[in-house]
Amino acid sequence: MRVHAQRVGALTGGLLFPALSMADWTVNMTPGVTGTSNDIFNLHMTIFWICVAIGAVVFGIMFWSIFAHRKSQGAKPANFHENTLVEVLWTLIPLVILIIMAIPATATLIDMYDTTESDIDIKVTGYQWKWQYEYINEDFGYFSNLTTPSDQIRKRQTKGENYLLEVDNPMVIPVGKKVRFLLTANDVIHSWWVPDFGVKKDAIPGFINEAWTRVDKPGTYRGQCTELCGKDHGFMPVVVKAVPEEEYNTWVADQKAAAEKERELTQKDWTMDELMERGEKAYATACAACHQVNGNGVPPAFPALRGSAIATGDMAAHIDVVVNGVSGTAMQAFGGQLNEADLAAIITYERNAWGNNMGDMVTPKEIFDYKNQQ
Amino acid sequence: MYLIFSFAMFLLGGTMAMVIRAELFQPGLQIVQPEFFNQMTTMHGLIMVFGAVMPAFVGLANWMIPLMIGAPDMALPRMNNWSFWLLPCAFLILVSTLFMEGGAPNFGWTFYAPLSTTYGPPSTTFFIFAIHIMGVSSIMGAINVIATVLNMRAPGMTLMKMPMFVWTWLITAFLLIAVMPVLAGVVTMMLMDINFGTSFFNAAGGGDPVLFQHVFWFFGHPEVYIMILPAFGAISQIIPAFSRKRLFGYASMVYATGAIALLSFLVWAHHMFTVGVPVAGQLFFMYATLLIAVPTGVKVFNWVATMFRGALTFEAPMLFAIAFVILFSIGGFSGLMLAIAPADFQYHDTYFVVAHFHYVLVPGAIFGIFASAYFWLPKWTGHMYDETLAKTHFWLSFVGMNLAFFPMHFLGLAGMPRRIPDYALQFADFNMVSSIGAFMFGATQLLFLLIVVKCARGGEKAPAKPWEGAEGLEWEIPSPAPYHTFATPPDVK
């Protein structure tokens, strides 16, 4: 059924655009790699062919009328205008077709909602404009940011193969296991979509939505945010790597060790140069989307940091803004998102970059103490 | 007045669509920044829905309903005047937000909270005010239609003898009165959230962002029928006229329209299949949505049966009407596909949806308006329009429209989300095709302006009944229709 449908799809495409049928002119949905996505694909093809059949009959009669009953051909109008039998028939037949359609759709839908008995739970949190993946049973988590360089987007560089669909840290899942996603958001509504899995679910602040998947084929699967979430809605892709189970277990162990190392960084003694270096990198991933790499921001929604009252003012107020955010604005509370080392580095960097020559610094330890006082 | 205003808005909204398609012509950011791109998509949607389509149909109603039911004018002329002049005020406010600090609304025409509340630009309050004024204007227009139709029909014209256009407008007017207050309610809640510290939609304050979507779509779904029912009515006048044969199944057309209107209140959550509605709710909304296909199908079958064994000629109104039936049906088919909830998880918020609603709104509402305009222009101006130019307008619009919107189905199925200013490379080819089609469709509309101006200024004199097969009271008075027709009501048998 699947292969057959694919072939027909390709054929239709070929007929519509005979000279252009090549890979990039995909005209149909892909069947995907999970049971759910295959079910959806089959539903999609069934309803598509039903529509084609109805269309062929209705438009056929219409074109016949247009062709055969032209006045220029001397057609004389008939005078019928009502027929109860016909009218009842064309009410009931569509109704029966719809009921036939609704049955498999209901079965698939109930299966999609069955999130019980999962092997792994991953919490997915949408932020403007990145995803956070937390492996809630393993006690670690991280952010997944777009890595396509701005130069490619602004057309100063040739675009890479996975333009706009590449991230620094993809989600990693093992094959053959039922993975449950718990979706929520930190600011506005986002929507997490991987077409190959047939999984799309809104991530809504204050709510936790559930979805699940079981992937049998290892590979890298790409998707995007599908709910308008502001300026960089088009720049927060979803990348999921499905790997064999042993590889997954090694990866989890590595992640746990790395998380431990991050925590140790807080206790280390930092120099100004080290903080500035780390700060520049951390700023680029966490802050530059809004405040821009050059610190000029996009006022009024995203104020400039260059020469700003916060970045060149009292240190405590600056820490407060970064750690706790500013309620009622787009400024998020980064205290929960970043570790102490990054927070200290970013604050130090903001006070000393782009001509903000404050000359002072804050250490990860101080941030740690600040957070604990709250 | 309404018609001129709505055409001006159509061109403005169209220009914004051109900006969108120009940006999407190639991957990468070239012409506009993402912030401005979002403002364009938002304003394009708002202006087309509230500024172009709705006022155009109100204009048609104001002009044609009195002529069709044998009344001298609308029942409430002062209110009519007021409801019109509110519109330019509302749109002046809305368009002025483009020049405000922070830019115009940038959260999509659906303005989902909290993107439009906590995270909205400062101009959101102006946007809310503009929506309020438009809502007041629409409600007054609707009251006027109802008062006119119910009180001012010529003696002998029973409800079941009214022309279809009058019927569909009567039903539309009730829909308007039912849902515009809901829209006003939801924007008022936004206003409170933004300016007075309430938390209707703010989860941090105990509110519910999903509540916004429920309330919005309770307005939003009937709203799409508000935009299409009057077009159904106009098409039901035009197809019999050029088939020289009575409308097949008049009574079932009336009942189908009523059924669509009633069902439209029961399907709002099919816009929200991915927000996490419980599975029972999901199933209810899926079944209710599929049901709408039945009365809609009845309408399409009736139109085709009307053409069957008629004596057809193909003047511009008929061309637009036939294109309406075919292309609207295609939009209906993709609607049926979207109604299948599991499949909607793949289609939702992709270009497939964009293709779907442009297929029902452009060949639906807009072609319906063009067909009506050509059909009744001789009655309005007293001159025939230039048929050759009008046919050129049709063919260019038809080709451009399909070129612009058909590839969007493919883009959506291949996985391109909507409302993005830039896209991955595999979407490049069809986006280029689509942009070319859109430019073609956009440029063609200037031709319409030319045709209408030319027709108003002169041309072949139009007889009282320029179309051989047309029926109805409006064709029994001279063209152009004199001021205050039917001072003594005509008798309808």
Per-10-residue mean pLDDT for chain B, 493 residues long? Answer: 74 76 77 88 91 90 89 87 90 90 88 88 92 94 94 87 93 94 94 90 88 94 93 94 90 93 93 91 93 92 90 92 94 92 92 94 93 92 92 95 93 92 89 92 92 87 86 84 74 66
Residue B307 vs residues A61, A76, B374: alpha-carbon distances, Å: 9, 12, 19
Q: Worst-scoring range by mean pLDDT, A160-174, A297-311, B49-63, B399-413?
A: A297-311
pLDDT of residue B386: 92
Q: Give bridge partners of residue A243 from the DSSP assignment.
A: A174
Cβ distance of B326 and A204 shorter than 8 Å: no
* Residues sharing a CB contact under 8 Å with residue B405, sequence separation 6 or more, in sequence order: B354, B355, B358, B359, B362, B434, B437
**Section A182-188 average pLDDT:** 92
**Minimal Cβ distance to B417: which of A189, A210, A226:** A226
Q: Do B29 and A187 touch (CB under 8 A)?
A: no
CB distance A189–B208 less than 8 Å?
A: no
Does any CB of chain A come closer than 8 Å to the CB of residue B404? no
* Alpha-carbon radius of gyration of chain A: 28
Q: Please tell me the distance from the alpha carbon of residue B114 to that of residue B193, in angstroms, as a whole number.
A: 10
* Active-site residue set of B: 44, 73, 109, 137-138, 221, 223, 225, 236, 270-271, 296, 299, 418
- B304: its two tokens: 């085709």
Q: Do A330 and B307 touch (CB under 8 A)?
A: no
Second-level CATH architecture of A31-112: Orthogonal Bundle (1.10)
Letter string b/e over residues B316-345, b meaning 16 or more CB atoms within 10 A of that residue's CB: bbbbbbbbbbbbbbbbbbbbbbbbbbbbbb
DSSP A56-121: HHHHHHHHHHHHHTBGGGT---------HHHHHHHHHHHHHHHHHHHHHHHHHHHHHT---S-SEE
SS (H, E, C) chain B: CHHHHHHHHHHHHHHHHHHHHHHCCCCCCCCCCHHHHHHHHHHHHHHHHHHHHHHHHHHHHHHHHHHHHCCCCCCCHHHHHHHHHHHHHHHHHHHHHHHCCCCCCCCCCCCCCCCCCCCCCCCHHHHHHHHHHHHHHHHHHHHHHHHHHHHCCCCCCCHHHCCHHHHHHHHHHHHHHHHHHHHHHHHHHHHHHHHCCCCCCCHHHCCCHHHHHHHHHHHHHHHHHHHHHHHHHHHHHHHHHHHCCCCCCHHHHHHHHHHHHHHCCCCHHHHCCCCCCCHHHHHHHHHHHHHHHHHHHHHHHHHHHHHCCCCECCCHHHHHHHHHHHHHHHHHHHHHHHHCHHHHHHHCCEHHHHHHHHHHHHHHHHHHHHHHHHHHHHHHHCECCCHHHHHHHHHHHHHHHHHHHHHHHHHHHHCCECCCCCCCHHHHHHHHHHHHHHHHHHHHHHHHHHHHHHHHHCCCECCCCCCCCCCCHHHHCCCCCCCCCCCCCCCCC
Indicate the angle between helix axes B209-243 and B367-381, nearest 10 degrees.
50
Residues B42/B108, Cβ–Cβ less than 8 Å: yes
Contact list, A57 vs chain B (CB under 8 Å): none
**Which of chain B's residues have a Cβ under 8 Å away from the Cβ of A210?**
276
Q: Quick one: CA dihedral B56, B61, B62, B68, positive or negative?
A: positive
- B324 within 8 A of B368, measured Cβ to Cβ: yes
**Banded model confidence at residue A13, pLDDT cuts 50, 70, 90:** very low
Residue type, A318: H
Gap between the Cα atoms of B303 and B342, Å rounded: 32
Mean pLDDT of A326-331: 76
Backbone angles phi, psi at A190, to 5 degrees: -120, 175
Give the closest residue to B139 by CA, choosing from B63, B268, B226, B267: B226
Chain A hits for B348, CB-CB cut-off 8 Å, are 191, 200, 226
Where do we find the tokens 């009937």?
A: B222
pLDDT tier at A261, thresholds 50, 70, 90: confident
Interface contacts A/B by beta carbons within 8 Å: 289
Share of chain A above pLDDT 70, in %: 93
**Beta strands A171-174 and A140-144: pairing type?**
unpaired
Minimum-distance CB partner of B346 among A198, A230, A298: A198
In chain B, which residue's Cα lies nearest the Cα of A62? Answer: B304
Instruction: Say if B203 is an interface residue toward chain A (CB within 8 Å).
Output: yes
The pLDDT value recorded for residue A77 is 78
User: According to the model, what pLDDT value does residue A3 have?
Assistant: 39
User: Distance (Å, rounded) from C-alpha A355 to C-alpha A244?
Assistant: 50
Question: Within a domain: residue B311?
Answer: yes
> Sheet of A237-243: strands edge to edge?
A171-174, A237-243, A219-224
Which of B115, B245, B291 lies at the smallest CB-CB distance from A188? Answer: B115
List the single best residue of A39, A98, A220 to mutate versus B (max B Cβ within 10 A): A98
Does the beta-carbon distance from B413 to A59 stay under 8 Å? Answer: no
**Alpha carbon distance B90, B108 (integer Å):** 18
- Please name every residue paired with A167 in a beta bridge, in sequence order, or none if there are none: A146
Phi, psi torsion values for B183, nearest 5 degrees: -60, -45
Whether the CB-CB separation of B344 and B28 falls below 8 Å is answered with: no
Residue B489 lies in a domain: no
Is B343's CB within 8 Å of A154's CB?
no
pLDDT of residue B261: 94
What does the domain layout of chain A look like in residue ranges?
31-112, 120-263, 266-373
Mutate to test the interface with B, among A62, A114, A166, A332 (most CBs of B within 10 A): A62
Chain A interface, best mutation among B110, B336, B419, B427, by max A CB count within 10 A:
B336
**With contact defined as beta carbons under 8 Å apart, do B299 and A24 qualify?**
no
Q: The domain spanning residue B403 has which CATH number?
A: 1.20.210.10
Nearest to B311 among A75, A90, A234 (CB): A75
CATH number for the domain running over A266-373 = 1.10.760.10
Number of other residues whose CB lies within 10 A of the CB of residue A85? 7
User: Confidence band (pLDDT; 50, 70, 90) for A226?
Assistant: very high
Is the CB of residue B40 less than 8 Å away from at least one CB of chain A? no
CA pair distance B324, B429, nearest whole angstrom = 28
CA B338/CA B334 separation, integer angstroms? 6
Rg (CA), chain B: 22
Per-residue pLDDT at A294 exceeds 80: yes
Interface touch A69/B308, C-beta < 8 Å: yes
For residues B448 and B370, is the Cβ–Cβ distance under 8 A? yes
- Domain-embedded: residue B20: yes
Alpha-carbon gap, residue A238 to A191, rounded angstroms: 10
pLDDT for res B493: 58
Burial string for A109-147 (b: 16+ CB within 10 Å, else e) reads: beebbeeeebebbbbbbbbbbbbbbbbeeeebbbbbbbe
The reply to whether residue A189 touches residue B249, judged by beta carbons under 8 angstroms, is: no
pLDDT at B241: 93
Task: Kindly tell me if the per-residue pLDDT of A252 is higher than 60.
Answer: yes
Instruction: Give the one of B290, B306, B350 whose C-beta lies nearest to A226's C-beta.
Output: B350
CB-CB contact of B231 with B369 (8 Å): yes
Q: Is the pLDDT of residue A18 over 50?
A: no
Total domains in the fold of chain B: 1
Measured between beta carbons, which residues in chain A are less than 8 angstroms from residue B252? 87
Q: Residue B293 and residue A91: Cα distance in Å, rounded?
A: 10
Please say whether the beta carbons of A361 and A346 come within 8 A. Answer: no
A181: helix, coil or strand? strand
Range of the domain at B425: 2-476
Q: Do the chains contact at B276 and A87, CB–CB below 8 Å?
A: no
Beta bridge partners of A126: A131, A185
Question: What is the band of A24 on the pLDDT scale with cuts at 50, 70, 90?
Answer: low
Please state, in angstroms and rounded to a whole number, the distance separating the CA atoms of residues B342 and A40: 6
Q: Bridge-partner residues for A238, per DSSP?
A: A223
**DSSP summary character for residue A353:** S
CB-based burial label for B98 (10 Å; 0-12, 13-18, 19+): middle
Cα–Cα nearest to A125, from A189, A215, A65:
A189
Q: Quick one: fold of A120-263?
A: Immunoglobulin-like (2.60.40)
Q: Place A20 in a pLDDT band, splitting at 50, 70 and 90.
A: very low
**CA nearest neighbour of B381 among B466, B448, B299:** B466
Give the integer Cα–Cα distance in Å for A104 and B40.
40
- Pairwise CA distance, residues B443 & B327, whole Å: 21
Q: Is B474:B247 a contact under the CB 8 Å cutoff?
A: no
Task: Give the pLDDT score at A328.
Answer: 67
Query: E strands of A154-257, at which residues?
Result: 171-174, 178-185, 190-194, 199-203, 209-214, 219-224, 237-243
Tokens of A53: 């059949």
